[in-house]
Chains A and B, each alone.
Chain A
Amino acid sequence: MAGERAPRAHVVCRADELPPGGRVLVNLDGRSVGVFNIDGQLHALHNRCPHAAGALCMGPVTGTTAPTEAGARTFVYTQANHILRCAWHGWEFEIESGRCLSDDRVRAKRFKVAVDQGQVVVTI
């Protein structure tokens, strides 16, 4: 099983191939992984949504509405480009934490990612 393997570092692409706002999808040891550059920070997530195993990392990177008062029913747009909406049913995940906005108990799986000698390296 994948979980029983020792973690392995995989070179995904050259760092300059993943500029801010960019994303690459790769298959690493049979696992689909999305790597995102958000404002210069790299994030790697399992392209398998905790909801129904959908294509999480193929959804839009976007913002969302912050909780507001019911009385005014106003909208405050927030976390622009920090939210990943699953490509399937649209559950929202904070890219930085993997937290699901509609259910605190749900997390998207994140992997370690770093730049090493000009290469983007994901450890899974």
Chain B
Amino acid sequence: MIDCDVHNDWSSSNVLLPYIDPTFRDYLLRGELPGARGSFPHAHRPWLHPEDFRRHDIKPTTDDEHYSFMREHLLDRYQHDVAILTGEEALEVSTLANPHYASALARAYNDWAVDTWLPRDDRFWMSLIVAPQDPQGAAAEIRRLGAHPRVVQVLTSHGSYRPYGDKFYEPIWEACHEMGLPWAVHLGGQGGINYQPIGGGPTTYYWETHALLLQPAMTHVASVIANGIFERYPNQKLLVIECGVTWLPSILWRLDANWRALRKETPWVKRLPSEYARDHIRMSTQPLEEAATKQQLWDVLRAMDGENMLMFASDYPHWDFDAPDDMPLPPTWMDKVMDANARQVYTKLPRTPVPWQLDAHKEPAL
């Protein structure tokens, strides 16, 4: 079983001090922070979870506890084969106006994760977090660490300065393609320099906003296809992590219809948008929509070829965690969604898929 979204948190951003470039060590050490010492430099979203966005049954304080609790509550409990680490606050570097500081923080996070998280558990594989507002810096980081045998993807927040198909990001796509790494876009970065994470203007409440997390993801999917990223980089994958799932077929239907009429506007787009999506885009399951009936959910998932497009993710240890032993998916899809699909995308993982066996991954009764 492969879990595509596991958050490896820290006790304090001070863990980055030994890893960050000296120029920016001063910033982190003495510079202004959004909270107390130990908080992470970023611009926070204007929607604050009224009860904290982490699960309340898991409250690690030390760095060792961050790992040991994860092992207990996730890795051992559900018998994970692979956990893809996606960081925690580091993703929020995308909100900073200073691209140099943002890239320095991303580099420090990556080195810290390689140094302290990977050695803890051989089920760990990691994402390279980059600062997308600094495309050259991000590309350099992808080339610096992208060949690490445990680095399986490049990760940025879905909140963004511009849609990710925009020419501005060409260096990042180029570097991803060169290093053979998918670009994963994960919920986050909904503040600071990132432009309008919610269409129509800022919503009011956390839960309301969280339900709309699909909005920027829709934008990126449309933008990446319309700008011909997959024509230019034929093996490139875009992974959509924690942005919901069932909106995809609807957006692809709309994109297909519009492209049929206005293909002349983007002559580099040579196939139906849905065909590019089928070949190049994968989505993580969490937070899977809770439809009124399983049948309704399955109808939509079938319309997007969910059997081949979806990859399981738990989003441990957040409040909207999905447990692997309770996935409301067609049983015949489980081998692929829980394991094989991710192995196709993350090519550094061992090649042989592990068939799904509910008993093996079932949470022991409390």
**Chain A residues engaging chain B, CB cutoff 8 angstroms:** 51, 64-71, 73, 75-76, 89-92, 101-103
Contact = CB atoms under 8 A, between A and B. Distances in A.
A90 B268 contact: no
B178 to A, nearest CB: 14
A101 B257 CA distance: 13
Given A65-B267, A75-B267, A76-B267, A70 B232 contact: yes
Contacts of B227: 70, 73
B229 A70 contact: yes
Interface stretch (B93-101, B239-247, B258-266, B300-308): B258-266
List 5 tightest A-B contacts by C-beta distance, closest first: A70-B228, A70-B231, A65-B267, A70-B232, A90-B261
B112 to A, nearest CB: 36
Given A67-B270, A68-B267, 12 more contacts: A65-B264, A65-B267, A70-B228, A70-B269, A71-B232, A73-B167, A73-B227, A90-B262, A91-B261, A92-B263, A92-B264, A102-B260
Q: Which of B265, B267, B272 has the most CB of A within 10 A?
A: B267
Interface in B97-115: none
Most buried by A among B228, B259, B262, B268: B268
Interface string B258-302: 011111110111101000000000000000000000000000000
15 contacts: A64-B264, A65-B263, A65-B264, A67-B267, A67-B268, A69-B268, A70-B227, A70-B229, A73-B167, A73-B228, A75-B267, A91-B260, A102-B259, A102-B261, A102-B263
Nearest to B256: A102
Contact of A68 (B229, B260, B262, B268): B268
Contacts of A103: 260
A51 B268 CA distance: 23
Contacts, number: 45
A66 B267 contact: yes
Contacts of B167: 73
Contacts of B259: 102
A71 B260 CA distance: 22
Interface of B: 167, 227-229, 231-232, 257, 259-265, 267-270, 272
Nearest to B259: A102
B325 to A, nearest CB: 43
Nearest to A69: B268
Nearest to B271: A102
Contacts of B229: 70
A98 to B, nearest CB: 16
Contacts of A70: 227-229, 231-232, 268-269
A92 B262 CA distance: 8
A65 B228 CA distance: 15
A65 B232 CA distance: 18
A103 B275 CA distance: 12
A55 B227 CA distance: 31
B267 A89 contact: no
A89 B232 contact: no
A98 B323 CA distance: 53
Nearest to B174: A71
A92 B231 CA distance: 22
Contacts of B265: 65
A113 to B, nearest CB: 27
Nearest to A106: B260
A101 B263 CA distance: 8
Contacts of B257: 89
A26 B167 CA distance: 48
Nearest to A89: B261
Contacts of B272: 102
Contacts of A64: 264
A92 B272 CA distance: 15
